[in-house]
Amino acid sequence: MSKARVLIVDDEKSMRDLLSITLEKEGYDVETAAGGELAIEMLHRETVDAVITDLRMPKVDGLQVLRAAKEISPDIAVIVITAVASTETAVEAMKLGAYDYITKPFKLDEVNLIVRNALERKRLRDENLYLRRQLETQHRFENIIGKSNRIAEVFDTIRKIADSPSTAMVTGESGTGKELVARAIHFNSYRRDKPFMSVNCGAIPEGLMESELFGHVRGAFTGAVSNKVGLFSAAEGGTLFLDEITEIPPLLQVKLLRAIQLREIRRVGDTKDLKTDVRLIAASNRDLEGAVQEGVLREDLFYRLNVIPIQLPPLRERREDIPLLIAHFLQKFSKELGKDARGVTPEAMIVLERYHWPGNIRELENVLERAIVLGGGDMVNVESLPESVRRERPVKGLESVEIPEDGLDLEATLDAIEGRYLQRALDRTGGVQTKAAELLKMTFRQFRYKLQKHQTMRKSQSIEA
């Protein structure tokens, strides 16, 4: 990305020169036009981010420049300057899409501030548009969203196993999206037109669980006044998702194992078996091998369910996906809540990317819904975030620093850490160096220098090897 381009339109050379010098000092790439006609020609030929135009000019005035700019590119920020302080012209300019309106005489600091704010607003709008386009293309699978390598591996596994009849075991912390994965597998398989049934095994009382899974016949127990269809029968031909599988009692695990092995079930109180064709997907937020060792989960059932293991990473291990997830939830809540939530401020994005997210995606979703409901304006800002999120946590792994007994090469160690952060910033920003520099609170020149240094070091090490 190049630095922002600003077009100054004024029939007075002295005003063009003054604004040009002022804005170039601020780091902008400045072009000038001596009149509205020339400005419109330039807008057709060149791409600019902002236009500062005088209102009163011969032949083609500032309002005509404003109209043309908005027709060519609706996202151009246009600032109108005039010596005539007229409410009518101000209202007309704003109706035509001007970002702001300044009257002469003005302070240069005022111009700098307005231009900076206009370009920041445009940058945020462009960034959110980019994220929305990303969401609509390769970075989502059903409602699972991300571009990180870890989540790309999950997408790949789903595609490979969707049409397989094999059981799958989805593991991951609470809030990582285990049911979304199960749904994605089902709706991308040949079973998509059949039922998808989901049950949280921890939410069913132990005495009712067998009846819930397999059904019962009338008179099987007190209160069984009619036949009941269990989840296996309800999901016939489709998929049954068993969340929190370790909550199933050991005795019932034996019957579940039999249903998987023989593809048969027996309703409570019945004397005959029923054939079943159901694809099973199980899930847990526990360490399953530990659950087997503790006797909570039968080993033979574990191996039957764990044919295709899918491990979902916690959100803190896929931070590059946070901006995409935020864009997704902003779209969702804008529709559901009737709010115009267009994005988050850069400061809020830094806080959201830095936070540890113990509740994972579910916690991020709740935080954004709260911020949109309670916050004012169309941007989520830091003040609308909960105190628990705003409060900075220590960087994981740096709570204490140990020095080996034989010492260490501090310079080489710091170089290695710096190199990893440079690469992580590039990964998160899709290789855009200016954005990576912003993420690391560096100037573009500093970032480019350090990146070139590390690339040279790697080449040198490669040659030596």
Q: What is the pLDDT of residues 197-251, one digit of tens each?
A: 999 998 898 888 999 999 988 888 877 778 888 999 999 999 999 999 999 999 9
CB atoms < 10 A from the CB of 328, how many? 24
Q: What residues contact 187, with CB distance under 8 A and at least 6 apart?
A: 142, 196
- The domain tally of the chain equals 4
The region that residue 433 occupies, defined by phi over 0 for left and psi between -120 and 50 for alpha, beta otherwise, is alpha
Question: Quick one: 329 and 449 in the same domain?
Answer: no
CB proximity list for 26: less than 8 A, separation 6 or greater? 112, 115, 116
Q: Are residues 227 and 305 in the same domain?
A: yes
- DSSP one-letter code for 268: B
Tell me the mean pLDDT in the region 302-324: 93
Q: What is the mean pLDDT of residues 68-95?
A: 79
pLDDT of residue 407: 77
pLDDT at 392 over 60: no
Helix (H, G, I), strand (E, B) or coil at 445: helix
Where is pLDDT greater, at 460 or 399? 460
pLDDT, residue 78, reads 92
Question: Could you give the count of Cα atoms lying within 13 Å of 32 in the half-sphere of its Cβ?
Answer: 16
Looking at the fold, whether 445 and 375 belong to one and the same domain comes out as no
**Nearest of 415, 335, 414, 348 to residue 386 by alpha carbon:** 348
One domain, residues 24 and 95: yes
Res 464: pLDDT: 54
For 115-150, write each residue's pLDDT tens digit: 988 888 887 777 666 666 554 444 456 678 888 888
Q: What would the two tokens of residue 448 be?
A: 């480019």
Residue 284 sits in the same domain as residue 307: yes
Nearest to 92 by CA among 110, 66, 71, 69: 66
pLDDT of residue 350: 87
285 and 346 share one domain: no
In a domain, 405, yes or no: no
pLDDT band at 399 (very low <50, low <70, confident <90, very high): very low
Domain that holds residue 306: 146-313
Of 156-160, 217-221, 310-314, 373-377, where does mean pLDDT reach its minimum?
373-377
- Of how many residues is the chain composed? 465
Answer left, alpha or beta for residue 381, where phi above 0 means left and psi between -120 and 50 means alpha: beta
**Would 401 be classed as within a structural domain?**
no
The arithmetic mean of pLDDT across residues 332-356, rounded, is 85
Rounded CA gap, 323 and 182, in Å? Answer: 24
pLDDT tens, residue by residue, 168-187: 999 999 999 999 999 999 98
- Looking at 18-27, 96-105, 318-327, which range is the least confident one? 96-105
Angle 13-25/108-136 helices, nearest 10 degrees?
60
User: CA geometry: angle at 346 spanning 343 and 350, to 5°?
Assistant: 110
Is residue 389's pLDDT more than 70?
yes
Section 256-269 average pLDDT: 92
Sign of CA dihedral 460, 463, 464, 465: positive
For residues 442, 447, 453, 457, the Cα torsion angle rounded to the nearest 10 degrees is 90
* DSSP codes joined into one string, 184-247: HHHHTSTTTTS-EEEEEGGGS-HHHHHHHHHEE-TTSSTT--S-EE-HHHHTTTSEEEEESGGG
* CATH number of the domain enclosing 357: 1.10.8.60
Contacts of 216 (CB under 8 A, 6+ apart): 224, 227, 228, 230, 267, 268, 269, 270
Using the Cα atoms of residue 361, residue 363, residue 365 and residue 367 in order, give the sign of their dihedral: negative
Q: Hey, what are 357's tokens?
A: 């997210």
> Which of 72, 102, 134 represents a domain boundary (last residue)?
134
**Model confidence band, residue 166 (pLDDT cutoffs 50, 70, 90):** very high
In this predicted structure, the answer to whether residue 299 has a pLDDT above a threshold of 90 is yes
pLDDT of residue 87 exceeding 70, the answer is no
Same domain, 345 and 451: no
Same domain, 125 and 57: yes
We report the CATH number of the domain holding residue 184 as 3.40.50.300
| Dihedral angle sign, alpha carbons of residues 421, 140, 245, 304 | negative
* Alpha-carbon gap, residue 344 to 330, rounded angstroms: 9
pLDDT at 142: 64
Cα torsion through 226, 215, 236, 300, rounded to 10: -170
Output 126 or 10, whichever has higher pLDDT: 10
Residues contacting residue 390 through CB under 8 Å, at least 6 positions apart: 351, 382
* Bridge partners (DSSP) listed for residue 30: 6
CB–CB of 16/8 below 8 Å?
Answer: yes
Residue 183 is predicted with a pLDDT of 92
Percentage above 70 pLDDT, the chain: 90
Q: Would you say residue 397 lies in a domain? A: no
pLDDT digits (tens, 9 = 90+) for 406-461: 777 787 788 888 888 888 888 777 778 887 888 888 777 778 878 888 877 766 66
Whether residue 157 is found in the same domain as residue 293: yes
Q: Taking residues 101-111, what's their average pLDDT?
A: 83
CA distances (Å), origin 259, targets 252, 279, 453: 11, 11, 61
Say what the pTM is.
Answer: 0.58
The answer to whether residues 269 and 181 belong to one domain is yes
Q: Is the pLDDT of residue 295 over 70?
A: yes
Helical spans, DSSP H, in 267-345: 288-293, 299-305, 322-337
Label the pairing between strands 215-216 and 228-229: antiparallel
Whole-number pLDDT of residue 396: 47
Please report whether residue 337 resides in a domain: yes
pLDDT band at 395 (very low <50, low <70, confident <90, very high): very low
Tokens of 188: 């991308």
CA distances from 337 to 132, 320, 326, 331 (A): 19, 27, 16, 10
